[in-house]
């Protein structure tokens, strides 16, 4: 692999940027291109010695790399894509390249689900790290314990002595159901031959590529068909959609999450700054967790990570102990700053279910801290599903836990104000970002928590809020 040249098309996405950094770590020369080149990914790539070009112009074809790795941002009609196809160049999707070149040499632990993939993957990677397994990983966020979103484990990079096999190293990866590339409309996870797979939850999402939930369930079952019989399938049996997937057949040993005969969470016992609870397997307590992550959704993420680590060989008690030292993931309830007693937090939540559970978790944290302040929610409906308005009727109920709601309607063509009418006077909608920021700052007072929820940069709103509050 060293000396090979990869050019990554769509390199600034989290997945493709992580892939590029993994390729560079093997000694390959890596270049790439994207439409929007900006921090933090551009900085990470530059630090890794990866040159990034702006745009998708046809002249890039003259770079003549050994392999063109194509992200799902690439489309027919792009000058570079048309030139490569006309020349008959070798192109491969990111998931396919990753599977063939790196995953095939690892023991793969994959985390799927509509919600919580990043947090669960980060938890699992940290548990394995804490247990001394030095995992490789590719995660859709930056775990604070590692400081990077992708890494090749030291064991993988070690060159074995002559005649000795390469040491088996775990690879933790988010198993995303989104499509692979313009020429491969299968879900990304179909390329990941996981030994251990988590199915944590399943709802309708990605309305730009799936017509309904049944279509996503089909992709999940196609994935189950590829998993080895000697592996392990960890399934949240409280999810009706996942139950339907299993009913189509499974050839891998199944362990139930949230079931008395499998893995389950005992009631929360602490009223302090952390959630404290016991984890049971088959009705027997196997560990006690002191988790810095609050809320029922995070308890589900913790349970899945502990179960997957146990399937790999880490004792549940040891996994539970590691969680107390987990420092979270950037953009997952991340404190961005505090001014005059007003905290500004950032979260990636964008699906109504994720918005509701994120608010519920923060509300629980505020109650335990006996905070007298209010919860101000600032939301941008930016995901493809939300932009299409498919879930507009679910948005208002998902925001019920907030004391005040400030919503940004820029970039969508459905009536956000009408969708939030059920919230009454506590909802405020703005199409102009400056006015939205002004309204939030005008409302905030000491003790309040401002929770910003978007799966994008949101115009740098966090820094702008902090500056205006100051």
Q: Quick check: 93 and 69 in contact, CB under 8 A?
A: yes
What's residue 436's pLDDT?
95
What's residue 161's pLDDT?
52
User: Which tens digits make up the pLDDT trace of 442-467?
Assistant: 999 999 999 999 988 888 899 999 99
> pLDDT band for position 190 (50/70/90)?
very high
Structure tokens at 160: 């074995």
Q: Which of 422, 196, 235 has its CA nearest to residue 313?
A: 196
139 DSSP assignment: -
C-alpha span between 452 and 100 (Å, rounded): 39
What's residue 111's pLDDT?
98
What's residue 134's pLDDT?
95
Q: Which residues contact 74 (CB under 8 A, 6 or more apart)?
A: 9, 10, 56, 81, 181, 182
Q: Quick check: 405 and 423 in contact, CB under 8 A?
A: yes
> Given strand 232-236, what is the order of strands in its sheet?
150-151, 136-138, 170-174, 107-112, 196-199, 232-236, 253-257, 263-265, 275-281, 284-291
User: Which tens digits make up the pLDDT trace of 32-43?
Assistant: 999 987 667 778
Structure tokens at 215: 């279509």
Question: Within its chain, how far is the Cα of 254 from the centroid?
Answer: 24
Q: Which of 25, 243, 194 has its CA nearest to residue 95?
A: 194
What's residue 29's pLDDT?
96
The answer, yes or no, to whether residue 78 has pLDDT greater than 60, is: yes
Hey, what's the torsion of the CAs at 96, 97, 100, 103, to 10 degrees?
A: -90
Q: Quick check: do 5-93 and 334-469 share a fold? A: no
Structure tokens at 107: 């023991």
CATH number of 334-469: 3.90.190.20
Q: Quick check: 231 and 196 in contact, CB under 8 A?
A: yes
Q: Quick check: 69 and 99 in contact, CB under 8 A?
A: no
The answer, yes or no, to whether residue 166 has pLDDT greater than 60, is: no
CATH H-level superfamily of 102-323: Mur-like, catalytic domain (3.40.1190.10)
What's residue 354's pLDDT?
87
Q: Is the peptide bond before 320 cis (omega within 30 degrees of 0)?
A: no
**Mean pLDDT of the chain, nearest integer:** 91
Q: Which of 425, 375, 441 has its CA nearest to residue 403?
A: 375
Strand (E) or helix (H) holding 265: strand 263-265
Q: Quick check: 52 and 31 in contact, CB under 8 A?
A: yes
Q: Where are the domains of the chain?
A: 5-93, 102-323, 334-469
Q: Which of 271, 364, 369, 289 has its CA nearest to residue 326?
A: 289
Q: Which residues contact 320 (CB under 8 A, 6 or more apart)?
A: 279, 286, 287, 288, 289, 306
User: Which tens digits make up the pLDDT trace of 118-156?
Assistant: 999 999 999 999 999 999 999 988 899 998 899 999 878
> pLDDT band for position 1 (50/70/90)?
low
To the nearest whole percent, how much of the chain has pLDDT over 90? 73
The answer, yes or no, to whether residue 325 has pLDDT greater than 70, is: yes
pLDDT (mean) for 377-388:
86
C-alpha span between 80 and 31 (Å, rounded): 14
Q: Quick check: 2 and 122 in contact, CB under 8 A?
A: no
CATH architecture type of domain 5-93: 3-Layer(aba) Sandwich (3.40)
The answer, yes or no, to whether residue 45 has pLDDT greater than 80, is: yes
Hey, what's the torsion of the CAs at 197, 198, 204, 205, to 10 degrees?
A: -80
User: Which tens digits make up the pLDDT trace of 393-440?
Assistant: 899 999 999 999 999 998 888 999 999 999 999 999 999 999 999 999
Return the minimum-mean-pLDDT range out of 20-24, 86-90, 320-324, 389-393.
Answer: 389-393
Return the minimum-mean-pLDDT range out of 181-195, 364-378, 412-426.
Answer: 364-378
């Amino acid at each position: 692999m060293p000396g090979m040249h990869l050019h990554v098309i769509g390199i600034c996405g989290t997945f493709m940027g992580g892939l590029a950094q993994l390729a560079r770590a093997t000694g390959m020369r890596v270049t790439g291109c994207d439409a929007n080149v900006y921090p933090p990914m551009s900085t990470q790539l530059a630090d890794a010695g990866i040159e990034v070009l702006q745009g998708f112009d046809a002249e890039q074809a003259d770079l003549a790399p050994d392999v063109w790795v194509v992200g799902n941002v690439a489309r027919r009609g792009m000058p570079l894509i048309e030139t490569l196809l006309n020349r008959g160049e070798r192109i491969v999707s990111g998931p396919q390249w990753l599977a063939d070149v790196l995953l095939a040499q690892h023991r793969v632990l994959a985390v799927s689900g509509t919600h919580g993939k990043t947090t669960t993957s980060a938890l699992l990677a940290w548990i394995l790290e804490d247990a001394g397994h030095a995992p490789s990983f590719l995660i859709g966020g930056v775990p604070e314990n590692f400081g990077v979103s992708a890494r090749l484990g030291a064991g993988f990079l070690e060159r074995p002595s002559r005649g000795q096999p390469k040491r088996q190293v775990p690879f933790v990866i988010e198993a995303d159901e989104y499509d692979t590339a313009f020429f491969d409309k299968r879900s990304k996870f179909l390329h990941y031959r996981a030994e251990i797979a988590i199915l944590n939850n399943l709802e309708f999402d990605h309305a730009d590529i799936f017509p309904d939930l049944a279509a996503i369930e089909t992709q999940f079952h196609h994935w189950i068909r590829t998993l080895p019989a000697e592996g392990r399938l960890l399934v949240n049996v409280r999810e009706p959609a996942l139950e339907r997937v299993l009913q189509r057949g499974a050839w891998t040993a199944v362990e139930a999450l949230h079931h008395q005969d499998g893995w389950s969470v005992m009631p929360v016992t602490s009223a302090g700054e952390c959630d404290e609870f016991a984890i049971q397997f088959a009705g027997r307590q196997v560990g006690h967790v002191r988790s810095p992550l609050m809320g029922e959704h995070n308890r589900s993420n913790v349970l899945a990570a502990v179960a997957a680590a146990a399937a790999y060989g880490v004792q549940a008690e040891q996994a539970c102990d590691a969680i107390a030292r987990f420092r979270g993931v950037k953009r997952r309830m991340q404190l961005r700053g505090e001014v005059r007693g007003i905290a500004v937090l950032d979260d990636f939540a964008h699906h109504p279910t994720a918005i509701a559970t994120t608010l519920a978790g923060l509300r629980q944290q505020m109650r335990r801290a006996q905070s007298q302040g209010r919860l101000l929610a600032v939301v941008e409906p930016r995901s493809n599903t939300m932009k299409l308005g498919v879930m507009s009727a679910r948005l208002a109920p998902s925001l019920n836990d907030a004391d005040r709601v400030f919503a940004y309607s820029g970039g969508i063509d459905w009536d956000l104000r009408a969708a939030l009418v059920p919230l009454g006077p506590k909802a405020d909608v703005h199409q102009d970002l400056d006015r939205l920021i002004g309204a939030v700052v005008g409302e905030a007072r000491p003790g309040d928590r401002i929770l910003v929820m978007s799966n994008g940069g949101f115009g740098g709103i966090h820094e702008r809020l902090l500056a205006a509050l100051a």
